[in-house]
Structure 1
């Protein structure tokens, strides 16, 4: 089997947010309970942002997206979970999945337990863990030393920030740390680099756990340029950000589609573009690429 090199691992972690992490999880869903997604919870845009404006809650959007991409289709459960309201009312633009997850939190259910309940309903074996169960926002310092508050504002910066932080600084979900401590393979990216990929690494406990891990660490680069300041980052710059947050040169392998990049022998190139969308990785090709890289590493 082409994916046999990955089947040997009992504990695989994929870390990040947005559509990128969901795509990786969907590509590796054949691993079932061997796979765990650790998800960014700093989003403050769209339906999630509107809920967070009125209520103190974590960002549910990226978690919902990962659950949605892992769910078997078609089903009534996925149709309800993905439903987005429209019309001339306050519900317009809201996603029902976000509201369901938030409602469960309001019923004093731990965010992680709410996710487990949805996983049961949607028959998802892969574990999904929020990076923190406490509300926090992404902040950045610009080149003038001014603080930029909120993920959407960070995305709109014209220059790469000098640093990123979380406000307030919160505690990493203990189950996320436990999963990292067991990990044999850790996958970082793809996704919006500054606002989806890096936020979990801003939690000291997560960064320390990854830094102390003996797992193989793979970074998956994006297929297309981002429409934000991260577009100015070369692959080498991204690795420098990751290594700086982790406190060591942690990335063992890089998967990229851009063959003109030359930063070392640890970069592998694969044709990964989906036939349906130029910005999305082909799930089968991505799984094959990860299997090929790990086969070479063993």
Structure 2
């Protein structure tokens, strides 16, 4: 990559997987924009969403901390979750700071930008929209489940998810970031509750369709109980394509590392299994597959941020 000419990378995802990837990407000379869903309605985020009439701050908070360039103590403080206090227990301090900053500035996006400066965030953190989205799922048996946090709980196969309101306006800066991107990474994250909701926002979907950027899917390592039980890499991509109705990816980054047996057993107790890639299964979709060991294993699995960053850099250098 040429010195001084930074590639613009947009990352769309959610949860701890996205945050882990961003911790790696922020260490290299690229311009990062993270687009985060505003469909969360559980826990501290859900309470603030209802009581403060604001987009849920949880996923945005995690991404802000992941991209922060401040000392670890400030990051830990931002992530601190209160254990005691009437009305305070369960809330994270970062969520409350975002809510407070929104009251001061009068706008969620302005609040996020202000806290980005406080944390010296390396990149831009943008919600997909400047207002809350409610996620609705139609299950395979025809039943309807309302609310992002409720969808995995019913433990049924998901047929499709929808947004309420369906015509929610995208944040213009998020659309612009996609239009200007050299590369767009989708994933990792919860397929139906973190990734697909972003792609269903109409202006974001149109920008992705029109974009000439290289588009890469970063696969989850494990399935998610109640959401992607038994899903392969192809199943994940097929679900995305069924929702947006056009082919999106030129490449997919997938795990081929063998997960230690003791870790597998822990996940199996929660009904989670590895997301398998079957050789040749993406050929008809014309997707180039990059296989590597994508995880680090301790008591649990997490994406190897350094490995994914290395692969992304190789893809960027291949663009020049």
- TM-score, normalised to structure 1, is 0.91
Root-mean-square deviation (CA), in Å? 2.2
Are 1:149 and 2:166 counterparts?
no
Distance in 1, matches of 2:190 and 2:27, equals: 25
Are 1:272 and 2:270 counterparts?
no
Match of residue 90, structure 2, among 83, 89, 93? 93
- Deviation (angstroms), 1:6: 11
Q: Between 129-138 and 285-294, report the one with greater CA deviation.
A: 285-294
Does the 8 Å CA contact 2:160/2:243 hold for their aligned counterparts?
no
Does the 8 Å CA contact 1:143/1:159 hold for their aligned counterparts?
yes
Are 1:138 and 2:135 counterparts?
yes
Inter-CA distance 271–73: structure 2 relative to 1 (3 Å threshold): farther
Offset from partner CA, 1:140-160 (integer Å, 9 cap, x none): 111232321111111223233
Pairing 1:121-132 to 2, within 5 Å after superposition? 121-132=118-129
- TM-score, normalised to structure 2, is 0.85
Distance in 2, matches of 1:23 and 1:6, equals: 26
Does the 8 Å CA contact 1:270/1:289 hold for their aligned counterparts?
no
Runs of 4+ aligned residues of structure 1 deviating over 4 Å after TM superposition are 4-9, 294-298
Query: Which sections of structure 2, spanning at least 5 residues, go unmatched?
Result: 257-275
Does the 8 Å CA contact 1:211/1:247 hold for their aligned counterparts?
no
- Counterpart for residue 229 of structure 2: 231
- Counterpart for residue 251 of structure 1: 249
Match of residue 72, structure 1, among 66, 69, 91? 69
SS in 1 for 2:296: coil
- Deviation (angstroms), 1:297: 5.9
- Deviation (angstroms), 1:48: 0.8
Match of residue 27, structure 2, among 19, 24, 30? 30
- Deviation (angstroms), 1:74: 3.0
Inter-CA distance 274–209: structure 2 relative to 1 (3 Å threshold): same
Does the 8 Å CA contact 1:9/1:184 hold for their aligned counterparts?
no
More strand as a share of residues: 2
Query: Which sections of structure 1, spanning at least 5 residues, go unmatched?
Result: none
Distance in 1, matches of 2:189 and 2:161, equals: 16
- Counterpart for residue 200 of structure 1: 198
- Deviation (angstroms), 1:218: 0.4
Distance in 2, matches of 1:277 and 1:296, equals: 36
- Counterpart for residue 282 of structure 1: 304
Match of residue 218, structure 2, among 217, 220, 227? 220
Distance in 2, matches of 1:228 and 1:161, equals: 9
Inter-CA distance 8–275: structure 2 relative to 1 (3 Å threshold): farther
Inter-CA distance 32–297: structure 2 relative to 1 (3 Å threshold): closer
Match of residue 58, structure 1, among 51, 55, 59? 55
Distance in 1, matches of 2:73 and 2:300, equals: 29
Distance in 1, matches of 2:152 and 2:71, equals: 33
Question: How many residues get paired?
Answer: 295
Distance in 1, matches of 2:2 and 2:91, equals: 41
Distance in 1, matches of 2:157 and 2:2, equals: 37
- Deviation (angstroms), 1:248: 1.8
Does the 8 Å CA contact 1:27/1:284 hold for their aligned counterparts?
yes
Offset from partner CA, 1:206-239 (integer Å, 9 cap, x none): 1110011001100011112212231232221221
